[in-house]
């Protein structure tokens, strides 16, 4: 059963990735006037300043380089070529503006985005799970009602609004954190304390504002814990005289966290997606900012490439979560069906 489940999940992940790449191909085709026309306009507007003219054949060649699409071939040939270059050569095309491949641009930026999203996820979810559990244990107390309002309030604050406020209070009014960038100027790169410190300082505000995204979980956790607290088996556990710590972690905690699993999965995609907005506010040069800059100049290959990579990262993250989930909840791996 275990192997079957594993195969099914991996198969699904591959299928999903395949679907996404197909989707980007379809999007290229749906561009106003087709990919060739869209890119031709881009190239022409880029060439405006310089005097050298460009022949249609050259444009054709450029379009093919940039997007892996041979625009005069029949659609199905284009599709096969596009898919094979993405899957077999890991080639996502060339950036229209920098002299670099989309793959290398993304590879350079991705670790920085991962840094802030992973920390934001960890901080956001840890805080909200602990907070939610404490709120549930002290249900109807003053602590519960006050923190409920605070959490609802924080949850109503869009992360970009939180970001703006953080910049205002921590960077402009009090210069504790820098307003943007990922490392300070003149900091020597390498494995030294100053460099690490600079990275942490620059990442702190983006991480904080993104972790606001996960805070809604506190209320879900509170609701789940309260529900579990009302169950009969908990009373049985109490009557059996089990230690409180054991009841809290093994009975309440575990059963309250499990239903949040789906939410957590979607959270992975959500945090990564939001990096476009957060990174632009903090001018933090990660993948999000790359996407933002690509939109400004209609750099389609970079846009599509980032969509593919975003999806790939999400798929891998969810796959890992999915496969490890079997260890936490035996019901999932044995049954093989997740309802």
Partner 1 sequence: MSNEQPDDELETLFDADIDREPTPRSQRLKRQFDLYVLAPARVAMTDWRAIVGTAIITMFVLMGTVGVWLVDRPTSGDAPVLAPPFQNPNYILGTDTFGQPIGAQLIHATPDMFRMVFAGAVVSIGFAALVGILSGFLRGSKIDTILMSITDIIITIPGLPLVIVLIAIFQPGDPYVIGVLLGLDNWPGLARTVRSQVLSIREESYVEASQIMGISTGTILRRDVLAQLMPYITVNSALASRRIIFESVGLYFLGILPFTTLNWGVMMNIAYEGNALSKPDMYHFLAFPLLTIFLMSFGLVLFSQGMDSVFNVRLRARHSSTIDDDGGPET
Binding residues for partner 1, rule CB under 8 A, total 57
Nearer to partner 1, 172 or 193 (CB): 172
Instruction: Give the E-state strand segments of 48-164 in sequence order.
Output: none
Give the position of tokens 């980032």: 306
Decide: residue 301, CB within 10 A, 0-12 exposed, 13-18 middle, 19+ buried: buried
User: What does the chain come to in residues?
Assistant: 339
Binding residue for partner 1, selected from 81, 85, 155, 283, defined by CB under 8 A: 155
At closest approach, how far in Å is the CB of 250 from partner 1? 21
- CB count within 10 Å of CB 76 equals 8
Is 262 a residue that touches partner 1 (CB under 8 A)? Answer: yes
Nearer to partner 1, 152 or 200 (CB): 152
Binding residue for partner 1, selected from 304, 325, 332, 333, defined by CB under 8 A: 304
Is 315 a residue that touches partner 1 (CB under 8 A)? Answer: yes
- CB count within 10 Å of CB 46 equals 13
Instruction: Give the E-state strand segments of the chain in sequence order.
Output: none
Phi-psi region of 157 (alpha: psi -120 to 50; beta: other; left: phi over 0): beta
Mask: binding to partner 1, 170-209, rule CB under 8 A, as x and -?
Answer: --x-------------------------------------
Mask: binding to partner 1, 108-137, rule CB under 8 A, as x and -?
Answer: ------------------------------
Report 32-51 residues binding partner 1 (CB under 8 A).
Answer: 32, 38
**Rounded CA separation 249/242 (Å):** 12
**Rounded CA separation 73/55 (Å):** 19
Residues 6+ apart with CB under 8 A from 164: 281
- CB count within 10 Å of CB 143 equals 13
Nearer to partner 1, 24 or 198 (CB): 24
Binding residue for partner 1, selected from 23, 43, 110, 328, defined by CB under 8 A: 23
Q: Which residues of 12-45 are buried (b: 16+ CB within 10 A; e: fewer)?
A: ebeebbeebbeebbeebeeeeeebbebbbebbee
Stretch of residues binding partner 1 (CB under 8 A), selected from 19-27, 93-101, 108-116, 190-198: 19-27
- CB count within 10 Å of CB 52 equals 5
At closest approach, how far in Å is the CB of 90 from partner 1? 19
Is 310 a residue that touches partner 1 (CB under 8 A)? Answer: yes
Q: Which of 269, 291, 270 is nearest to 280 (CA)?
A: 291
Binding residue for partner 1, selected from 298, 326, 328, 336, defined by CB under 8 A: 298
Stretch of residues binding partner 1 (CB under 8 A), selected from 57-65, 83-91, 163-171, 244-252: 163-171
**Rounded CA separation 215/156 (Å):** 10
Is 27 a residue that touches partner 1 (CB under 8 A)? Answer: yes
Is 20 a residue that touches partner 1 (CB under 8 A)? Answer: yes
Binding residue for partner 1, selected from 257, 276, 290, 332, defined by CB under 8 A: 276
- Where along the sequence are the contacts to partner 1 (CB under 8 A)? 12-13, 15-16, 19-20, 23, 27, 30-32, 38, 152-153, 155-158, 160-161, 164-165, 167-168, 172, 219, 223, 226-227, 229-230, 262, 265-266, 269-270, 272-274, 276-277, 280, 291-292, 295, 298, 300, 303-304, 306-307, 310-311, 314-315, 318, 339
């Amino acid at each position: 059963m275990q192997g079957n489940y594993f195969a099914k999940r991996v198969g699904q992940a591959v299928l999903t990735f395949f679907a996404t790449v197909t989707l980007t191909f379809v999007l290229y085709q749906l561009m106003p006037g087709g990919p060739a026309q869209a890119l031709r306009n881009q190239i022409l507007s880029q060439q405006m300043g310089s005097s050298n003219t460009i022949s249609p054949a050259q444009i054709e060649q450029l379009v093919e380089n940039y997007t892996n699409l041979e625009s005069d071939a029949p659609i199905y040939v284009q599709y096969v070529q596009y898919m094979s270059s993405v899957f077999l050569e890991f080639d996502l095309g060339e950036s229209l503006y920098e002299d670099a491949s989309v793959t290398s641009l993304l590879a350079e930026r991705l670790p920085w985005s991962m840094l802030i999203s992973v920390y934001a996820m960890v901080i956001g979810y840890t805080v909200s799970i602990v907070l939610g559990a404490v709120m549930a244990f002290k249900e109807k107390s003053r602590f519960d009602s006050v923190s409920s309002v605070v959490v609802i309030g924080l949850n109503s604050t869009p992360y970009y609004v939180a970001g703006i406020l953080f910049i205002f209070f921590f960077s402009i009014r009090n210069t504790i954190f820098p307003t943007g960038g990922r490392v300070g100027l003149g900091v020597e790169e390498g494995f030294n304390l100053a460099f690490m410190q600079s990275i942490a300082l620059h990442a702190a505000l983006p991480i904080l504002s993104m972790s606001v995204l996960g805070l809604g979980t506190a209320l879900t956790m509170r609701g789940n814990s309260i529900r579990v607290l009302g169950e009969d088996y908990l009373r049985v556990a109490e009557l059996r005289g089990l230690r409180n710590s054991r009841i809290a972690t093994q009975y309440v905690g575990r059963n309250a966290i499990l239903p949040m699993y789906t939410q957590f999965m979607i959270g992975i995609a959500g945090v990564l997606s939001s990096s476009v907005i957060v990174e632009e506010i903090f001018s933090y040069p990660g993948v999000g900012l790359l996407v933002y800059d690509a939109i400004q100049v209609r750099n389609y290959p970079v846009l599509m490439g980032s969509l593919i990579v975003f999806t790939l990262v999400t798929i891998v993250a969810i796959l890992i979560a999915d496969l490890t989930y079997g260890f936490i909840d035996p019901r999932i791996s044995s049954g093989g069906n997740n309802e």
